[in-house]
Amino acid sequence: MLGTPGTMQANPSYKDCFQEVFRFLEDTLNSFVAAGGRRDQVWVDPGIGFGKTLDHNLTLIRRAGEFSAIAPVVLGVSRKSMFGKITPDNGPQDRLAGSLAVAAYAAMSGNVSVLRVHDVLETKKTLDTLMALERNP
């Protein structure tokens, strides 16, 4: 994220959000390994919603699989405020559809290792349905 939790959404600005996040995660992982950590113990999360605009978030979601060049990817998008910018809502309770859409999109890409979700049952049912469609052409 840019700034602190209190200021991160004030005016997030990147020259190239994807490249800057990619380099940050890659550099951080390299520092961890240089300090004695094991690369195979790390997964990366591009930090959807943390100091990013809607366009930044959408770019990172579209390109999430590319982070797998660094390490397995964790994507957490459950009930993020970005969904209220796509379709107006009354808060997190109205953001399940957006959360499920992105979970499905990420799962279909095949390049995201873990989906961090709040609505486990609904996400599982959505993904089970998608897998059934894939199995039965």
Which residues form the catalytic set? 80, 116
Query: Strand, helix or coil at 96?
Result: helix
Cα 25–Cα 30–Cα 32 angle in degrees, nearest 5: 95
Distance, in Å, from the CA atom of 14 to the CA atom of 27, rounded to the nearest integer, reads 17
Both tokens of 90, joined, read 């009354």
Beta bridge mates, 76:
116
Both tokens of 30, joined, read 């390299």
Report whether 43 contacts 72 (CB < 8 A): yes
Q: Please, which residues have CB within 8 angstroms of residue 44's CB and are 6 or more apart in sequence? A: 25, 29, 67, 70, 71, 72, 73, 74
